[in-house]
Amino acid sequence: MDVLISESEIQRRVTELAHQIEVDYQGRPLTVVAVLTGSLVFLADLIRNIRLPLRVGLLQASSYRGASTVSTGTLLINESFAPDVAGRDVLLLDDILDTGLTISALAQRMRERGAARVRTAVLLRKIGRQAVPFEPDYTGFSIPDRFVVGYGLDFNDDYRHIPYIGVLTDPLPAADPLP
């Protein structure tokens, strides 16, 4: 695995984002809604650096199935753990903005459920992949178009616990050189 963003770079940037959020939400009670499962680690680190009253809610959305690294284009949303957002300021968190379909659909859902204002934060944003126009309010890092894992992001449900963002290298050993 190649390290794309180190643990200390992530910690520094997440703390910066938290402080920016703290300034922007002074006097506005906040509901942070994180998209499971990928944004779990980001959520945990971010909220511990926001010194404001805040509620936490969870949504589950998935478009990647099993071992595939290609979106099917079908977004599945599970709202069983979604908080009541009516009249609240919502900050929607996702791990990565790729095509933008997930976060834009979920932001729309929060508005339909009566949120007073919806803002969005993504840890990562892939350059050159966006399929729908969408501007997140907070972005951790812009990254090249590579499949990344770690810090909450998985490949086939593994690697979420890796503390840095990495790019999987070919798991097959290099072929022996010809004699």
Is 137 a residue of the active site?
no
Does position 154 interact with ligand 5GP (CB under 6 A)? The reply is yes
Structure tokens at 75: 């977004």
Determine which residue in the list 38, 136, 150, 166 makes contact with Mg ion, applying CB under 5 A. 38
Determine which residue in the list 101, 115, 118, 165 makes contact with ligand 5GP, applying CB under 6 A. 101
Q: What angle do CA 106, 45, 34 make, to 5 degrees?
A: 15
Neighbours of 163 (CB within 10 A): 13
Does position 100 interact with ligand 5GP (CB under 6 A)? The reply is yes
What's the chain's length in residues? 179
From the centroid of its chain, how far is CA 87? 24
Judged by CB, which is closer to Mg ion: 38, or 140? 38
**Options 41-49, 85-93, 98-106, 113-121: segment touching ligand 5GP (CB under 6 A):** 98-106
CA-to-CA distance for 119 and 94, rounded, in angstroms? Answer: 11
Q: What is the contact surface with ligand 5GP in residues (CB under 6 A)?
A: 38, 63-64, 71, 94-102, 147-149, 153-155
